[in-house]
C-alpha cells in the first residue's frame, strides 16, 4: 500500500505546530529515529481501575539523523503493549508489517535471516529505574515475512497490540499517535534481533543519544516541523 499525499486537517496542523514548540513538553530521544513527547499521559491500569478510558497521546518528530547505530537489532523491529493509531501530519511513514514463522532448520540456508524474540523494559519504567534491560524470550528461531506500506501525509494507520512492525522515514516526518487498550498484563513489549546478536535498549545511555531536546540538533528539527505544519495550516 502506498497512500497519496494530502493535506491534513488545517486546525490539527495549526494546533500541533503550536504545541510542539511549547516549553512544557518533555521530549525524549528514541534510538530508532525519533523524538517523542506526551500530549496526554496517564498511568495505564489506574485508568481502568477508575473506569476511565485507557488512552494516551504522543507527538513524534522523526528524522533519519536521529537513528542510532545498531538499531536494526535493537528495537527497529518491535511490537507494542497497546493498539497504536498514527496520523501522519508531515512527511511519510514507511511501515512494514512483520509476520513470523518458526524456523525448524538447524543450520541456516545461505542468506536466510534467522530472528530471535527479546523482551524489553518499557521506556517509562526505564526512566524510573535506570535499568533498560533486554532479555531473551526463548531459544526459538523465526523467519520473517514482510508486508510494506507507505503512509503519506494526511493518512492514518493502526498497529495492533503484540503485532511486530518496523518504522522508517526518508526525511522530516511528524506523526500524532494515540495509544489505546494498553495491556494490564505485566508482559513487556518485544523486539526482534538476528540470531547471534545481543540487542541494546533504544533508550540506553549512549554518547550519541540526545538527553535534552534543547540541544541545537533537536530544537532545529522541532522548529522546522512546527514551521512546516504552520504553513500547511495557512494554505489549507
Q: Is the pLDDT of residue 110 over 70?
A: no
DSSP 8-state assignment for residue 74: T
- Give the pLDDT of residue 191: 97
Burial class (CB in 10 A: 0-12, 13-18, 19+), 16: buried
**What is the distance between the alpha carbons of residues 131 and 190, in angstroms, rounded to a whole number?**
16
Kindly report the average pLDDT of the chain as a whole number: 91
- Give the pLDDT of residue 143: 92
| pLDDT tens profile 21-67 | 999 999 999 999 999 999 998 765 554 454 545 789 999 999 999 99
| pLDDT tens profile 171-186 | 999 999 999 988 777 7
What domains are defined for the chain? 10-103+112-235 (2.60.120.10)
- Give the pLDDT of residue 90: 98
Task: Cell numbers for 3, please give them.
Answer: 497512500
**What is the distance between the alpha carbons of residues 158 and 172, in angstroms, rounded to a whole number?**
20
Residue pair 177/157 in contact by the 8 Å Cβ criterion: no
| pLDDT tens profile 133-166 | 999 999 999 999 999 999 999 999 999 999 999 9
- Give the pLDDT of residue 220: 97
- Give the pLDDT of residue 103: 75
What integer is the mean pLDDT of 89-106? 90
Residue pair 235/97 in contact by the 8 Å Cβ criterion: no
SS3 210: coil
Alpha carbons within 13 angstroms on the beta-carbon side of residue 199 total: 33
- Give the pLDDT of residue 111: 65
What integer is the mean pLDDT of 200-205? 91
- Give the pLDDT of residue 202: 93
Residue pair 93/151 in contact by the 8 Å Cβ criterion: yes
Task: Cell numbers for 209, please give them.
Answer: 543519544
Amino acid at each position: 500500500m502506498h497512500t497519496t499525499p494530502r493535506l491534513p486537517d488545517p486546525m490539527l496542523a495549526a494546533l500541533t505546530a503550536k504545541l510542539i514548540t511549547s516549553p512544557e513538553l518533555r521530549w525524549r530521544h528514541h534510538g530508532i529515529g525519533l523524538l517523542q513527547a506526551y500530549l496526554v499521559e496517564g498511568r495505564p491500569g489506574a485508568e481502568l481501575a477508575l473506569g476511565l478510558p485507557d488512552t494516551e497521546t504522543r507527538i513524534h518528530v522523526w528524522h533519519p539523523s536521529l537513528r542510532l547505530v545498531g538499531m536494526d537489532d535493537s528495537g527497529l523491529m518491535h511490537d507494542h503493549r497497546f493498539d497504536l493509531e498514527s496520523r501522519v501530519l508531515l512527511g511519510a511513514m514507511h511501515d512494514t508489517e512483520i509476520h513470523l514463522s518458526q524456523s525448524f532448520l538447524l543450520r541456516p540456508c545461505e542468506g536466510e535471516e534467522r530472528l530471535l524474540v527479546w523482551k524489553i523494559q518499557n521506556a517509562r519504567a526505564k526512566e524510573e529505574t535506570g535499568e533498560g534491560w533486554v532479555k531473551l524470550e526463548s531459544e526459538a528461531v523465526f523467519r520473517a515475512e514482510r508486508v510494506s506500506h507507505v503512509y503519506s501525509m494526511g493518512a492514518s494507520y493502526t498497529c495492533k497490540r503484540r503485532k511486530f512492525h518496523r518504522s522508517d522515514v526518508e526525511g522530516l516526518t511528524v506523526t500524532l499517535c494515540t495509544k489505546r487498550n494498553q495491556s494490564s498484563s505485566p508482559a513487556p513489549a518485544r523486539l526482534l534481533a538476528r540470531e547471534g546478536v545481543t540487542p541494546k535498549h533504544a533508550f540506553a545511555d549512549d554518547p550519541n543519544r540526545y538527553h535534552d531536546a534543547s540541544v541545537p540538533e533537536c530544537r532545529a528539527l522541532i522548529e522546522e516541523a512546527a514551521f512546516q505544519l504552520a504553513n500547511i495550516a495557512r494554505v489549507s
